[in-house]
Amino acid sequence: MFAQLQPVATDPILGLMAAYKEDPNPNKVDLGVGVYKDEQGHTAVLKCVKEAEALRLKQEDSKTYIGMAGDLGFNAHIEKLAFGASHKVLLANRVTTAHTPGGTGALRVAAEFIKKANPNATIWVTNPTWANHISLFQAAGLKVKEYSYYDYSTKGLNEEAMFAELATVPAGDVVLVHACCHNPSGMDLTFAQWQRFTDLAKARGFTPLVDMAYQGFGEGLDEDARGLRYLAEQVEEMILCSSCSKNFGLYRERIGAVSVVAADSKIADVAKVNLLSVVRSIYSMPPAHGAIIVANILNSQELTALWHQELAEMRNRINSYRQLIIDKLAAEGVTQDFSFITRQHGMFSFLGINKAQIDRLRSEFSIYMVGSSRVSIAGLNHSNIDYFAKAVATVLK
Ligand code: PLP
């Protein structure tokens, strides 16, 4: 039976990671993978996480199952973090949350949940979007369509095309929107655009699915959630998938959450049993470790303050490099306009260079980025920014 299997294309980022690893050039630069790196190029465990883990080691007295919804303390915290502590959907018990294995797990559970609610639903995703969105939703049996989002020529939002296309989405379909730090473009919706999106969701009756994988990496924890909080105030129902991979640096612990907002608490109760039946049939229960680390941090004022400080350090470092790229390229005599980089948020931006230039950066300078010219800004640091700017200036000539 297995001999009949055909090879499957792997994610190009994985191939890029492997090629980077094997490259003997001591000056090599990895701008491919979407993982935060510090000034030393290291993805360190946050101090608040170390302390929360020590606490867990001391306090944990059982390894029994935690239940399909996962850690209830974590779920309560993550709802407040996303929606804000006194959001009307929380006060009205309209939200049900399950902690999941990462943001990817949240999206897969959401997809199966959508299929239960409406087997004919199409899910609309931004063009472009995180590559895994499309394969993940298709694997769950949902139809996927794209709507215009990033305009490669203006390096901004393709606003009119986006809203014109969303105005054709029927009730019963789902529209995925990135809460902040759009992956791969870094181009986020302004608050006015969130309002426009919300008006359209209400008028058309489609269900928004907000994917928030980078809360706190854009402008701040509350600022990054402002759009989705407004949306949740206005619409009857929506789904939120969140991830603690980036903002808590818990990547390999696989911790995220799916929250369903329903029109009232009764529907939310029914949504909950459906959500949990999806969980039961995929992995039964989520792993506890990451959730308890996050809960330990958010249960403690001291650890929360430390987390805020460490998160701000990551955010500020990325944002300072957004400006530095522009300054260093200008210093190298590049006249092309790169100012769009500071108008974008989070870990990524498209550099907007062509394939031949991307290939040259890799073959001549060992600078690795994906074929779309998406760069992970956190891969830059004081030891490689000048080398990077000189190399880009060379291939742009
Ligand atoms: N959504 C987006 C837009 C992402 O970029 C990512 C990770 O890169 C995820 C979801 C999933 O994150 P994880 O499963 O690592 O928590």
Segment 305-358, tens digit of pLDDT: 999 999 999 999 999 999 999 999 999 999 999 999 999 999 999 999 999 999
101 Cβ below 6 A of ligand 1: no
Residue range 284-300: mean pLDDT, rounded: 98
**Rounded CA gap, 121 and 345, in Å?**
31
The 3-state DSSP class for residue 142 equals: coil
346 Cβ below 6 A of ligand 1: no
Query: Would you say residue 33 has pLDDT above 90?
Result: no
Q: Which pLDDT does position 112 carry in this prediction?
A: 98
What is the phi-psi region of residue 366: left when phi exceeds 0, alpha when psi lies from -120 to 50, beta otherwise?
Answer: left
Q: Where are the domains of the chain?
A: 11-46+304-396, 65-299
CA of 133 to the centre of ligand 1 (A): 9
Residue 281 — pLDDT band, cuts 50, 70, 90? very high
- Output the CATH code of domain 11-46+304-396: 3.90.1150.10
**Rounded CA gap, 128 and 146, in Å?**
8
Q: Which pLDDT does position 188 carry in this prediction?
A: 98
Query: For the segment 86-127, what is each residue's pLDDT rounded down to a tens digit?
Result: 999 999 999 999 999 999 999 999 999 999 999 999 999 999
130 Cβ below 6 A of ligand 1: yes
What is the phi-psi region of residue 157: left when phi exceeds 0, alpha when psi lies from -120 to 50, beta otherwise?
Answer: beta
Of 341, 325, 311, 329, which Cα lies nearest the Cα of 186? 341
Residue range 12-32: mean pLDDT, rounded: 92
The overall average pLDDT reported for the chain is: 97
Residue range 8-32: mean pLDDT, rounded: 90
- Of 123, 130, 254, 345, the residue with max ligand 1 atoms within 8 A of its CB, to mutate for a pocket test, comes to 130
CA of 120 to the centre of ligand 1 (A): 25
Q: Which pLDDT does position 120 carry in this prediction?
A: 96
Query: For the segment 60-94, what is each residue's pLDDT rounded down to a tens digit?
Result: 999 999 999 999 999 999 999 999 999 999 999 99
244 Cβ below 6 A of ligand 1: no
Assign domain 65-299 to its CATH architecture.
Answer: 3-Layer(aba) Sandwich (3.40)
* Residue with CA nearest ligand 1 atom 6: 213
Q: Which pLDDT does position 179 carry in this prediction?
A: 98
Query: Would you say residue 213 has pLDDT above 80?
Result: yes
Q: Which pLDDT does position 222 carry in this prediction?
A: 98
Active site residues: 130, 211, 246
Q: Which pLDDT does position 10 carry in this prediction?
A: 76
Q: Which pLDDT does position 8 carry in this prediction?
A: 86
Query: Does ipTM top 0.95?
Result: yes
- Of 14, 78, 104, 137, the residue with max ligand 1 atoms within 8 A of its CB, to mutate for a pocket test, comes to 104
Assess contact for 180 and 217: CB atoms under 8 A.
Answer: yes
Query: For the segment 157-183, what is each residue's pLDDT rounded down to a tens digit?
Result: 999 999 999 999 999 999 999 999 999
Say which residues have a Cβ less than 8 Å from residue 256's Cβ, sequence separation at least 6.
Answer: 99, 100, 101, 102, 103, 104, 105, 106, 241, 242, 243, 244, 245
CA of 243 to the centre of ligand 1 (A): 7
Q: Which pLDDT does position 298 carry in this prediction?
A: 98
Residue 12 — pLDDT band, cuts 50, 70, 90? confident
Q: Which pLDDT does position 17 carry in this prediction?
A: 87
Of 144, 147, 151, which Cα lies nearest the Cα of 166? 147
CA of 103 to the centre of ligand 1 (A): 5
**Rounded CA gap, 181 and 344, in Å?**
8
**Rounded CA gap, 210 and 191, in Å?**
15
186 Cβ below 6 A of ligand 1: no
**Rounded CA gap, 197 and 207, in Å?**
11
Query: For the segment 223-249, what is each residue's pLDDT rounded down to a tens digit?
Result: 999 999 999 999 999 999 999 999 999
pTM of the entire predicted model: 0.97
Residues of the chain above pLDDT 90, percent: 96
Residue 14 — pLDDT band, cuts 50, 70, 90? confident
Q: Which pLDDT does position 9 carry in this prediction?
A: 80
